[in-house]
Amino acid sequence: MKKIFILGFMLFLHGCAIVEVSPSVEGRVVNEDGQPVVATVVLRHNRFVEKSTAQTTDSNGYYMLKKLRVLTFTPISATRLSSTVSISAPGYKAVEFDTGSYKALVRDVQLESE
C-alpha cells in the first residue's frame, strides 16, 4: 500500500513541477532625438514565483537580458508564460511591456522626457 501511495504521489508531482522560461530580450534605448540613453532594464517573471534580472544599457544604449528560468509547482501542466520588461532612466518616463512568447525578443525603445 505504501508503494502505491508513493507511486501515485510521484506521478502527481510529475505533472506539477514545471520549469517556465522567459525569452531573452535585447534591443536599444534612445531618446526622442535618437541619442542613446543609459537606462536600467529589468526582466521580471510574473507567474507564481517573482524572479527578475536587471542590466544597465551600455554607452550606446544597447541591452541584452538572458532567459529567466523559474521552477514552479502547479497542478496544471500547461501554463502561460508571463514576463514583463521595464525600462527606466532619470529624466524620462518609464516604459513597460509584456514579452508574450517563448521566442527571443528584439525591442528598441524610445523614451520620452518627463
Q: What percent of the chain has pLDDT over 90?
A: 36
Q: What percent of the chain has pLDDT over 70?
A: 67
d(CA 27, CA 65) in angstroms, rounded, equals 9
Q: Quote the pLDDT of residue 15.
A: 56
CATH at residue 81: 2.60.40.10
d(CA 113, CA 85) in angstroms, rounded, equals 19
**Could you tell me which residue, 77 or 62, shows the higher pLDDT?**
62
d(CA 109, CA 17) in angstroms, rounded, equals 35
Query: Structural domain of residue 68, as residue ranges?
Result: 2-110
Q: Please tell me the total count of domains within the chain.
A: 1
d(CA 48, CA 1) in angstroms, rounded, equals 34
Report whether 54 contacts 85 (CB < 8 A).
Answer: no
Report whether 52 contacts 43 (CB < 8 A).
Answer: yes
Closest CA to 80 of 104, 98, 105: 98
Q: Quote the pLDDT of residue 72.
A: 63
**Would you place residue 46 in the very low, low, confident or very high pLDDT band (cuts 50, 70, 90)?**
low
